[in-house]
Amino acid sequence: MKINIAVLSGDGIGPEIVSQALNVVKTICSVYNHDLNYEHALVGVAAIDACGNPYPDSTHELCMNSDAVLFGAIGSPRYDNDPQAKVRPEQGLLAMRKKLGLYANIRPVATFPQLLHRSPLRRDLVEDADFVCIRELTGGIYFGRPQGRSEDGNTAYDTCVYTKEEIERIIRLAYRYAGERKRQLTIVDKANVLSTSRLWRQVSQELEKEYPEVKTEYMFVDNAAMQIIQCPKRFDVIVTENMFGDILTDEASVITGSLGMLPSASIGIHTSVFEPIHGSYPQAAGRDIANPLATILSAALMFEYAFGLKEEAEHIRKTVNESLNAGIVTEDIAAGGRAFKTSETGEWICKQIIVNK
């Protein structure tokens, strides 16, 4: 099969972790005789420095012409500490989502037996937790208009906007995922307060009748936040709007014990983007200490979702699991043992993929 991907390393640790994930992609393609074509492009701070745009037209054109995008992270303290900055790297991420039609962010949340001790939650609460969060990605308060501040600067406002079509699209996708798993869907909103949530509830209840094989429940976002911590094993597939999903998925990440272990897929109209859920971690940039496993697992999602290559995806996941068993891990999850470098971890996984072929 021809594997045609765009590689957007981004900021901070992005180049280091994406480099290791790309090496894994190359190794898998070699083992399974796939024809890999890839091209790098600028995004984030590097793109601002080069042309003043965090998501340049040339980068967008490459993404549009690719079957999938392997992405690192965006963000820099240079802009975090400058409230007057007219252009921010995060604007590149929002532009990419909007222009590529990345309407659904898929975040699997599953525990690793080797890392149960790393979770701040009790072992009996998180052991065997395995659910998927589906976050709507192109609507809501992050994109709603109007937004801004008053002339005197003392009042600020953002507007949460959703259309029926946007909601229906993401709900149908969630039902599809639930149908392929345990046939249980939790729809999260705040319908007792927000008009947009009441539209979400209305549309969801209309669609629910089309999926009688799936058990559907509705949950307010504050209750969902509590239930994810108190009883994460009760969930199978969770779907919600943009801001709620942003918050809940970061909360759910503590279940695994490390942000460095969670991959994600952003499903789009034109192409799809695969990236770790963590940020750019600028404090670790260039030190060869960042955990590449979330990015490598994102590459596994890419093989599965973008190319339908489940065997290749499972090969990667199996090898990552072996690295955890063997203690070939970076300092964030080393737990007192030897901490391996980012590059050492990636190299070991590539060699082990060949051993397991």
Task: Say if residue 83 is preceded by a cis peptide, omega within 30 of 0.
Answer: no
Question: What is the C-alpha separation between 310 and 233, in angstroms, rounded?
Answer: 25
Same domain, 152 and 186: yes
Residue 124 structure tokens: 């009996």
Question: What is the C-alpha separation between 239 and 146, in angstroms, rounded?
Answer: 26
Residue 122's pLDDT is 92
Is position 113 within any domain? no
Residue 178 structure tokens: 């639930």
Out of 69-83, 153-167, 216-230, 330-344, which region has the weakest mean confidence (pLDDT)? 69-83
Residue 86's pLDDT is 82
Q: By C-alpha distance, which of 51, 158, 154, 63 is closest to 102? A: 63
Same domain, 130 and 246: yes
pLDDT in tens, 80-128: 766 677 889 999 998 999 999 999 999 999 999 888 888 889 999 999 9
What lies within 8 Å, CB to CB, of 215 at 6+ separation is 183, 184, 185
Whole-number average pLDDT of the chain:
94
Is the separation of the CB atoms in 140 and 161 below 8 Å?
Answer: yes
Cβ burial, residue 68 (10 Å; 0-12/13-18/19+): buried
Residue range(s) defining the domain that contains residue 133? 120-256
Same domain, 196 and 274: no
DSSP 174: H
pLDDT in tens, 27-42: 999 999 999 999 999 9
Name the percent of the chain lying above pLDDT 90: 82
Give the count of alpha carbons within 13 A of 123, CB side only: 5
Same domain, 274 and 326: yes
- Which of 202, 222, 256 is the C-terminal boundary of a domain? 256
Domain count, the chain: 2
Q: Model's pTM, two decimal places? A: 0.89
Same domain, 142 and 164: yes
What lies within 8 Å, CB to CB, of 7 at 6+ separation is 18, 22, 38, 39, 40, 41, 69, 70
Is position 111 within any domain? no
Residue count of the chain: 357
Is the separation of the CB atoms in 207 and 171 below 8 Å?
Answer: yes
Is position 115 within any domain? no
Same domain, 330 and 231: no
Residue 330 has pLDDT above 70, yes or no: yes
Residue 120 structure tokens: 């701040």
Is position 63 within any domain? yes
Residue 257 has pLDDT above 90, yes or no: no
Is position 274 within any domain? yes
Out of 74-78, 174-178, 267-271, which region has the weakest mean confidence (pLDDT)? 74-78
Residue 82's pLDDT is 67
Same domain, 273 and 324: yes
Same domain, 159 and 33: no
Where residue 345 falls among pLDDT bands split at 50, 70, 90? very high
Name the percent of the chain lying above pLDDT 70: 99
Is position 188 within any domain? yes
Show which residues are catalytic: 142, 190, 222, 246, 250
pLDDT in tens, 38-79: 999 999 999 999 999 999 999 999 999 999 999 999 998 888
Give the helix/strand (H/E) hosting 103: strand 102-110
Residue 79's pLDDT is 82
What lies within 8 Å, CB to CB, of 295 at 6+ separation is 17, 18, 20, 21, 70, 72, 263, 275, 276
Residue 144 structure tokens: 């709603």
- Which of 256, 276, 306 is the C-terminal boundary of a domain? 256
Same domain, 127 and 230: yes
Same domain, 132 and 204: yes
Q: Any idea what the CATH number is for the domain that residue 343 is in? A: 3.40.718.10
Instruction: Reduce the secondary structure of 40-72 to three states and give it as a string.
Output: ECCCCHHHHHHHCCCCCHHHHHHHHCCCEEEEE
- Which of 208, 228, 256 is the C-terminal boundary of a domain? 256
Q: By C-alpha distance, which of 348, 254, 335 is closest to 293? A: 348
Same domain, 266 and 152: no
Residue 240 has pLDDT above 70, yes or no: yes
pLDDT in tens, 144-173: 888 898 888 899 999 999 999 999 999 999
Is position 20 within any domain? yes
Residue 83's pLDDT is 67
